[in-house]
């Protein structure tokens, strides 16, 4: 077996087209972090439990460690960097800051992407529904209350911009 099997992928990452030769076994999260230097999305459990590697593929959140980079060939990928630069996460980021919804910050990029998916999909979510939606994102610092508070604040605040 050739250990250096490679394949070429072309995809759009944060609005920019990229083409790279990679090994098929490379995770999307490692592709983003190591090939493209987008280290905002984090790697922790590497088997789909913790949610730190959450990114968006064709508009829907995914586990970056349970997605191969080759599976993103031809697709559109958005990370916390792109969604911060575009301002889409601005209101949520401000709320996380104000509510002290992060301590070490390791889970935060994944939390933000999942929370933003919730805001877009379920703007009327109750606290219990927020908890349920975030059940796939682990945080070892905050005890979650402040994260739920921050998201609830965004959901309950009339908004004109910054929330997609």
- 109 is a contact residue toward other proteins (CB under 8 A): no
Kindly provide the b/e burial profile for residues 18-50, where b requires at least 16 CB atoms within 10 angstroms of the residue's own CB.
eeeebeeebbbbbbbbebbebebbbbbebeeeb
Q: How far is CA 157 from CA 59, 101, 127, in A?
A: 24, 17, 15
User: Could you tell me which residues come within 8 angstroms of residue 25 by beta carbon, excluding any fewer than 6 positions away?
Assistant: 68
Judged by CB under 8 A, the number of residues near other proteins is 36
Closest CA to 61 of 78, 40, 44: 78
Q: Is the Cβ of residue 11 or residue 65 nearer to other proteins in the bound state? A: 65
Q: Which of 11, 13, 52, 68 binds other proteins (CB under 8 A)?
A: 68
Point out which span in 4-12, 81-89, 95-103, 144-152 binds other proteins (CB under 8 A): 4-12
Q: Which of 25, 120, 140, 156 binds other proteins (CB under 8 A)?
A: 25
Positions in the binding site for other proteins (CB under 8 A): 1-5, 7, 23-25, 27, 30, 46-48, 51, 54, 57, 60-63, 65-68, 70-71, 73, 114, 117, 131-133, 135-137
């Amino acid at each position: 077996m050739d250990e250096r099997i490679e394949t070429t992928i072309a995809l759009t990452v944060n609005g920019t087209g990229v083409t790279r030769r990679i090994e098929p076994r490379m995770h999307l999260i490692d592709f983003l972090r190591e090939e493209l230097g987008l280290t905002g999305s984090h790697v922790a459990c590497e088997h789909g439990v913790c949610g730190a590697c959450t990114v968006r593929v064709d508009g829907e959140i995914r586990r970056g460690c349970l997605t191969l980079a080759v599976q993103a060939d031809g697709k559109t990928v958005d990370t916390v960097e792109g969604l911060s630069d575009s301002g889409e996460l601005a209101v949520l980021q401000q709320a996380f800051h104000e509510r002290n919804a992060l301590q070490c910050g390791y889970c935060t990029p994944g939390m933000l992407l999942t929370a933003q998916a919730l805001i877009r999909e379920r703007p009327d979510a109750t606290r219990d529904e927020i908890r349920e939606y975030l059940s796939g994102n682990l945080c070892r610092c905050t005890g979650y209350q402040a994260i739920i508070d921050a998201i609830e604040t965004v959901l309950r605040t009339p908004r004109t911009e910054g929330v997609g």
